[in-house]
């Protein structure tokens, strides 16, 4: 059997005790899928009972610093202490709303890796980038930090999520063939960093993923899973996505 599908729930700034309780009752144990649930970090401890062989918890972001006078920051070690073993890094909303630079994204990748967290690096292009023909250039440019890091351990712990920014929360999606084309280029770029890297890398598609469309993405050769936003706030919908991805 090849790589298991990776299915990631990004709650973003949503949820409360009701969503926590519904997740604790959810059935996410599917043999063919690894599942990562990324709630706001204050809910990690309450969700620890979710953790199974194939179900993990993650953060949506982390600090580049290990400790110190950084009000509002959450460190890698704090995430680990609360049961998190994964983190998203460089999500387009962090880049846009918090002006995260490539340098800061790299620092966060390195901080997470030092602590042993598994990382999901988010990359994507705007509608203007796509219309101007610069989508591939923009996305592959966001991967240049991996060459700069020059760290085999960091790459071993890495997955990548491709999210066309124009498809996030809009109901629009890239077509499966458009997504596949970008995923193929991403895998080629990572493969150029080391012979064994690209084949083992899991590359996820994100952007208005639903139970209705996720199966069509997973049929493509270089799409290894999905990063789910709005649909993960409906637990029954997210369970359906996990089942579909687990049976690919």
Q: CA-CA distance, 229 to 226, in Å (whole number)?
A: 10
Give the pLDDT of residue 216. Answer: 96
CB atoms within 10 A of CB 99: 8
Asked if pLDDT for residue 101 goes beyond 90, the answer is yes
**Residues labelled as active-site residues:** 91, 163
Question: Which of 168, 181, 172, 164 has the alpha carbon at shortest distance from 223?
Answer: 181
Q: What is the CA radius of gyration of the chain?
A: 17
Which structural domains are found in the chain, ordered by start? 5-246 (3.20.20.70)
* Predicted local confidence at residue 1, as pLDDT: 45
Top mean pLDDT of 68-77, 167-176, 188-197, 198-207 is at: 68-77
Residues 30-47 pLDDT 10s: 999 999 999 999 999 999
How many C-beta atoms surround the C-beta of residue 132 within 10 A?
12
**Residues 73, 83: Cα–Cα separation, whole Å:** 17
């Amino acid at each position: 059997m090849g790589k298991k599908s990776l299915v990631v729930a990004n709650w973003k700034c949503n949820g409360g005790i009701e969503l926590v309780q519904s997740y604790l009752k959810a059935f996410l144990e599917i043999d063919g899928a690894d599942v990562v649930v990324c709630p706001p970090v204050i809910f990690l401890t309450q969700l620890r009972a979710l953790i199974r062989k194939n179900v993990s918890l993650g953060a949506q972001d982390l600090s580049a610093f290990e400790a110190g006078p950084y009000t509002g920051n959450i460190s890698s070690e704090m995430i680990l202490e609360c049961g998190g073993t994964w983190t998203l890094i460089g999500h387009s909303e962090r880049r846009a709303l918090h002006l995260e630079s490539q340098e800061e994204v790299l620092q966060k990748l390195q901080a997470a890796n030092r602590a042993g967290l598994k990382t999901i690096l988010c990359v994507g292009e705007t509608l203007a980038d796509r219309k101007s023909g610069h989508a591939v250039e923009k996305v592959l440019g966001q991967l240049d930090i991996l060459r700069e890091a020059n760290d085999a351990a960091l790459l071993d712990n890495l997955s990548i999520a491709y999210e066309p920014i124009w498809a996030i929360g809009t109901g629009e999606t890239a077509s499966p063939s458009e997504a596949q084309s970008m995923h193929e280029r991403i895998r080629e770029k990572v493969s150029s960093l080391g012979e064994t890297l690209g084949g083992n890398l899991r590359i996820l598609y994100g952007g208005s993923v639903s139970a209705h469309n996720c199966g069509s993405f997973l049929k493509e050769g270089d799409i290894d899973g999905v990063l789910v936003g709005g649909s993960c706030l409906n637990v029954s919908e997210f369970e359906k996505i996990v089942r579909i991805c687990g049976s690919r």
